[in-house]
Amino acid sequence: MFGLSFTKLLMLAIVILIVWYGFKYAARIEAVKQSRRAETPRRRQGGNGGGDTRPPSPRPVEDLVKCQRCDSFVAAQGAANCGKSQCPWGV
């Protein structure tokens, strides 16, 4: 009645493998969905992190002044020498 043959064992192994890989595939799809759900708020808020719903903190703002020699803008405080001759921003 319940005789074990090579064909029955082979079919059982195939069914077990199909179920096993089916669960792995379903878990992979769920992981991709979760990562996309976590990514969506970051894109809307400018990339401030995973589940964090706070708005991103503002970056510090520095005043710029125009260089009289090369017409480029440099930081008003802590400006360094640009390397050009007669640079007004220190040595």
pLDDT tens digit string along 38-78? 877 666 555 545 555 667 677 788 888 887 777 778 777 77
Cα separation, 77 vs 69, in Å, equals: 18
Take residue 80 and report the two structure tokens written for it: 């360094």
Does 84 score more than 80 pLDDT? no
What are the start-end ranges of the E strands in 24-66?
A: 64-66
Cα separation, 33 vs 59, in Å, equals: 32
Positive/negative CA dihedral, 28, 32, 37, 38 = positive
Instruction: Check residue 22 and give its pLDDT.
Output: 97
Does 29 score more than 80 pLDDT? yes
Does 37 score more than 60 pLDDT? yes
Instruction: Check residue 44 and give its pLDDT.
Output: 59
